[in-house]
Amino acid sequence: MNIFNLKTAAAVATFVAATVISTTASASPFDFLNMNRGSQQPSQATAYAPSDDQSEVRADLRRQIVNYPTNEAPGTIIVDTPHTYLYLVMGGGKALRYGIGVGREGFTWSGVKTVEKKAEWPDWTPPPEMIQRQPYLPRFVAGGPTNPMGARAMYLSGSVYRIHGTNAPSTIGGQVSSGCIRMVNDDVIDLYNRVKVGAKVVVLPMSHERRAGSPNGIY
């Protein structure tokens, strides 16, 4: 190769390298998350990578359709506290099952509620009871990717409890909360989009054991 060709090759290589560096510096690695996320603030869309949520979750706790005969109407949410599953009844003996985190020892509860309201990227104001137990907590955290409420919340009637997202997917499958039901952000967004305000929510007690073939479904 003569000197002219060497100089030409070097110039081309320099140009390509400069182009790559310039493109890398100017482009956000999270730009693909902005697609179809018009309702989110830019900082939230770029900081939340939904594909990361499932990486720390056991296979049985990942969202899937399962057999689940029950007398409850389609659209009902059933929280199986001892097994850390949440079921969305689909009808026809099927349900969409999600893995959840539940209340730690002494903070589990049971009963029948309804979805009172829904919120995207909710703010978090710890209730007075929580502040009393944990005085170091902030009094208010604005909604966003660093908020412990995660991407979505469904508030349960007559209580301080919520079904909400979490930015700590490794806690799914555990007894970790002060009574709220946690889901990975991918799953809580999916559930949020399927559930209407007014939906029935059945929270089973920690002592509950579901018997296959029970004539009353979950009871």
Catalytically active residues are: 164, 180
DSSP code, position 121: S
Which is it for strands 152-156 and 200-203: parallel, antiparallel or unpaired?
A: unpaired
Beta carbons of 187 and 98 less than 8 angstroms apart: yes
Which residues contact residue 38 at a Cβ distance below 8 angstroms, ignoring those fewer than 6 apart?
none
- Cα(154)–Cα(114) distance, integer angstroms: 9
**Residue 114: strand, helix, or coil:** strand
Question: Cα separations (Å) of 88 from 95, 99, 176?
Answer: 5, 12, 22
Beta carbons of 68 and 87 less than 8 angstroms apart: yes
- Cα(165)–Cα(188) distance, integer angstroms: 6
